Amino acid sequence: MKFFGSTPRNNSIIGLPEEEFYRYGHRACAGCGESIAVRIIMKAAGKNTIVVTPTGCLEVVSTPYPETAWRTNWVHSLFENAAAVASGIDSALKKIGKRNEFNLIAIAGDGGTFDIGFQALSGAFERGTNFCYICLDNECYANTGVQRSSATPYLASTTTTPAGKVSRGKTEWKKPITEILATHGSEFVATATIFYFRDLYMKVKKALSVKGPTFIHVFTPCPTGWRFPSEKTIKVSKLAVETGAFPLYEIEKGVLKISYKPEKLKPIEEYLKLQGRFAHLKEEDIKQIQEYINKEWERLLKLEKCGNIYKTLPLE
């Protein structure tokens, strides 16, 4: 395999290590939130890392044979079994006495996490696999045509939930994947996004320092699938947090802590109006979504005050 590019570029992210382990030259769309996230993730993980990536956008754009954007160990798995492959690697490294020499990460999209890969992911967490699983959430099956996933937000228009005369878009609310995995007993799970890049970086560092399974849910806006201009990716990422559409928090040893608290949530309409997938929404739809977000935000604030509310599994 050969690497994209030949010389370093002066485009380092302020405050983070300069060395790049996910390089420029990949085939991602302009403004791709996933590639921005992976660049930050790999700066935190470093050179001695094994990455497992299932079929999806990231695999397709980063490894068109015989080229690769990865500057570390990388394994391609099937769509549904990234966590199972990572479990096998964890066991193999232990068997040969080299487990402490590598960070082990699985990086998958929402389709390969919320849906197709959830069985393997749940099993790996139940077994106590020592790895960090990172979900890059672009809220759809972007690689195969922008179909809905269980990460797709309520009333979003996709190719399988198209808004029109007989459909309002997706009629189900987004699956709470981070809390679901917290209930599996993980010592550390968190949400993150690319605008707050230092927060993402530090959460990856923390997750990799923990023994056992950890999880980071990373919000990665998709200009192509969500239908917004590619230069608005970072703005969409920021607004998702400021409106409460995607709150930032971590659950460490069973205790939930909100990472960023806006003094007051911005109206959700500011976030929705930037995206073509919500262009069909009526005033009553936006009101319904706003009410749901307000309730969820209040629920998180209450959970933060409760102390240890999620169990953690004893590890050997």
Give the range of the structural domain holding residue 185, as residue numbers without chain letter.
2-304
**The tokens of 45 are what?**
């993980």
Task: Evaluate if residue 2 carries a pLDDT over 50.
Answer: no
pTM to 2 decimal places: 0.94
What does the pLDDT read at residue 316? 53
- Range in 11-20, 76-85, 110-119, 243-252 the model is least confident about: 11-20
Whether residue 313 is contained in a domain is answered as no
Mean pLDDT, rounded, for 126-149: 97
What does the pLDDT read at residue 312? 73
Whether residue 312 is contained in a domain is answered as no
**The tokens of 283 are what?**
């005033």
What does the pLDDT read at residue 65? 87
Mean pLDDT, rounded, for 162-169: 92
Work out whether the CA dihedral 226, 228, 231, 234 comes out positive or negative. Answer: negative
Mean pLDDT, rounded, for 277-290: 97
What does the pLDDT read at residue 164? 93
What does the pLDDT read at residue 8? 40
Task: Evaluate if residue 7 carries a pLDDT over 70.
Answer: no
Distance, CA of 47 to CA of 223 (rounded, Å): 30
CA–CA distance from 308 to each of 127, 158, 202, 255 (Å)? 22, 38, 22, 5
Here the CATH number for the domain that contains residue 199 is: 3.40.50.970
Whether residue 315 is contained in a domain is answered as no
Whether residue 309 is contained in a domain is answered as no
What does the pLDDT read at residue 11? 57
Residues 6 or more apart whose CB falls under 8 angstroms from that of 94 comprise none
Distance, CA of 229 to CA of 253 (rounded, Å): 40
- Range in 140-144, 200-204, 254-258, 310-314 the model is least confident about: 310-314
- Over residues 170-228, the pLDDT tens digits come to 999 999 999 999 999 999 999 999 999 999 999 999 999 999 999 999 999 999 999 99
CA–CA distance from 262 to each of 238, 240, 247, 267 (Å)? 11, 11, 10, 12
Whether residue 12 is contained in a domain is answered as yes
What does the pLDDT read at residue 12? 63
Whether residue 296 is contained in a domain is answered as yes
**Which one has a higher pLDDT value, 183 or 3?**
183
Dihedral in degrees, nearest 10, Cα atoms 294, 295, 301, 304: -140
Task: Evaluate if residue 273 carries a pLDDT over 80.
Answer: yes
- Over residues 23-77, the pLDDT tens digits come to 988 999 999 999 999 999 999 999 999 999 999 999 999 999 889 999 999 999 9
Q: How many domains does the chain have?
A: 1
Mean pLDDT, rounded, for 159-179: 95
What does the pLDDT read at residue 313? 64
Whether residue 92 is contained in a domain is answered as yes
What does the pLDDT read at residue 4? 39
Whether residue 206 is contained in a domain is answered as yes
